Amino acid sequence: MELLWLAVAHSPKLCTPTDSRATGRGRPRARSRLLARAYKSVAAPAIPSSLSRAPVDRIPPDSRHLSTLFTYALARPYPSTHQPTNMATSTRPEHTVAITEADTIPGFYAARACLSARNWHQVVCGVTDIKSELARELAKEGARIVPADLDNPNSIKHLVGNADALVMVPPRDFDAADKLKKVLDALEDMQVPLVAAAAESTQQQGSDNKLRAMVFVSCILAAMHGAAVEGAESRDHKNVVQQWLAMEKEVKHRCKKATICRVGFPMQSMFALSEIIQNKGVMPLNFGNGEVAPVNLKDAMMGLAKVAHESVMHGHPGGKAAAAHHGQLYTLTGTQLLTAAQLASTATHVLEAPVTYRSIDDHEMRRILEASSGLHRYDVEEFLTAAKCIRMGKMAIRTQDLERLLQRQPSTIDRFWQENKTMFKPRGGRIIQAVTKDY
C-alpha cells in the first residue's frame, strides 16, 4: 500500500554532519561536508535533476505532486535514536543487511533507516528497476543496489547470499504471497538455518550461510481477520486482509525465529489529500466515526531497523536483545487515537488555516485517490480496506511497542502537520501540476 506508506518528516536530521554513510573505509569527513551542502543548497543535485534537493518550502508549488513529494520527503531529515559513534574507540560495523523491494515506498524507508543508523557494514538493496528514482537515491546514500526478481531463485540468492540479516518487504501486488513463498524456498535451498526445513540438515552438515535474522514488514491489516466486509468491493477488501494473513502464517510456519513488524496506518497517507487540502481547504475521508492511531512511517522503520540490527548481535557485546526479538510480533502504531474529524481539527490548528472535514463514501474516496495520486489498483484497495476497518472500529489499536523500541515517544500528528506545513496549508485554489509519474 504505497499510499499508506507515503512519507515526510522533519528535524532532527536524518543525515547528521558526521554521517559518513560509510559502508567501507571511504572519506567520512569529505562526505559529511557534501551532505551538509546538499541540505543547505537549493541547487544541489537531486531527482529529478531539474529540481533541487531543497527544503520543501523551496520546491516550486507546481512541482508538489504526490509522486515528487516522495523524493523530497525522503531526502528530508527525521528523528533518530542513534548516538554518534566514536570511530576511534569503537568496533567497526561488520554486519550486512539485505532489503527486498527497496524501490517501493516501504522498502525505501526501511533501507533509509538502516543507512541512517550507521551500524551496518553494508546495506544491500534489492530493486526491480535499478534506474528508478528511489534506487538512484539509495545508491547516492551509500547503499549497494542489486537487481532482484523475487520470482527468480538465483536473483534471491544473489541478494541475500552475503547478508547477516534480511528485511523482507513484500511486493505491492495481489501476488505478494506467492513471491514470499519463492523467497523462502530459495532460502531453504541455500540451507539457511532460519528456515525450519533447512535447520536439521544444516546442523548435520553445516552451512556457510551467514543469514541469522529476518524481519518481515507486515501491515496492521493482518490483525483484521475478523472484520466483516460487505458491499460490491468486498472481494478485493478480503483479498488484501487475507493476503497479509497468509504471508504472516507462511513466515511463522517456515521461519520461526523471524520477527514480524506490523506497521500501523501512516500519518503520511495524508499526502494523498495534500492537493485537495491546499486547493479547497477540505479534508475528505471515508473513516466514519472510527478511530485510528496514525504512526509516522519514519519512526516505524527506525524501530524495525533497530530490531534487524539487534537480532544479529548474538554473541557480541551489547547483543543481549538478539534472542528477545526472535519469533516476536510487534505492532507499530502511534500514541494518539484520532477520528477523521480530529485529524482535520488538528490540521486547522497547526496550519493556522481552516481545514474542513467532509465525510465521504468509498466510491468518492476511490475517485479522489485515483485522480490525485495515480496509484496502482492494489494500493488503492489497501487504503479503502484500511478505511473500512477504521469505520468498523477494528483499527482502534494503540500499542507501546514502537515507543519501547525507539526508547522515546513517537511523533504526534501535530508535529507531522507542523513539519509539513507547506505541503498542506490551503493556498486559495492554485492548481498543482504533476511533473513525474507515480512510483
DSSP per residue, 303-321: HHHHHHHHHT-TTSTT-TT
pLDDT of res. 94: 86
**Bond preceding residue 12 cis, omega within 30 of 0:** yes
Whether residue 265 lies inside any domain: the answer is yes
pLDDT of res. 185: 95
CA 64, chain centre distance (Å): 20
pLDDT of res. 222: 95
Whether residue 432 lies inside any domain: the answer is no
Whether residue 84 lies inside any domain: the answer is yes
Q: Identify the CATH number of the domain in which residue 257 sits.
A: 3.40.50.720
Whether residue 430 lies inside any domain: the answer is no
Whether residue 434 lies inside any domain: the answer is no
Residue with cell 533507516: 113
Q: Contact 73/10 with Cβ under 8 angstroms?
A: no
Residue 50 C-beta-side C-alpha neighbours within 13 Å: 5
Would you write out the chain's pLDDT as a tens digit for each of its 439 residues?
555 554 333 333 333 333 433 344 444 444 344 333 333 333 333 333 333 333 333 334 443 444 445 444 554 544 544 444 443 334 567 899 999 999 998 999 999 999 999 999 999 999 999 999 999 999 999 999 999 999 999 999 999 999 999 999 999 999 999 999 999 999 999 988 888 655 554 444 445 568 989 999 999 999 987 654 444 355 666 689 999 999 999 999 999 999 999 999 999 899 889 999 999 999 999 999 999 999 999 999 999 999 999 998 765 555 566 778 999 999 999 999 999 999 999 999 999 999 999 999 999 999 999 987 657 888 899 999 999 999 999 999 999 999 999 999 999 999 999 999 999 998 753 322 322 222 2
Q: Which residues pair with 358 in a beta bridge?
A: 284
Query: Can you tell me the distance from the alpha carbon of 98 to that of 116, in angstroms, rounded to the nearest whole number?
Result: 15
The CA-based dihedral angle spanning residues 252, 254, 256, 259, taken in that order and rounded to the nearest 10 degrees: -60
pLDDT of res. 427: 74
Assign 127 to helix, strand or coil: strand
Assign 201 to helix, strand or coil: helix
Please state, as a whole number, how many other Cβ atoms lie within 10 Å of the Cβ of residue 225.
12
pLDDT of res. 377: 87
Whether residue 431 lies inside any domain: the answer is no
The CA-based dihedral angle spanning residues 84, 87, 88, 90, taken in that order and rounded to the nearest 10 degrees: 90
**Domain that residue 126 falls in:** 2-424
170 is written with which cell numbers? 513484500
Between vectors from CA 274 to CA 273 and to CA 276, what angle results, nearest 5°? 70
Query: Can you tell me the distance from the alpha carbon of 287 to that of 272, in angstroms, rounded to the nearest whole number?
Result: 15
Residues near 322 by Cβ (< 8 Å), separated by ≥ 6?
213, 310, 311, 312, 313, 314
Number of domains comprising the chain: 1
pLDDT of res. 226: 60
218 is written with which cell numbers? 507486515
Whether residue 105 lies inside any domain: the answer is yes
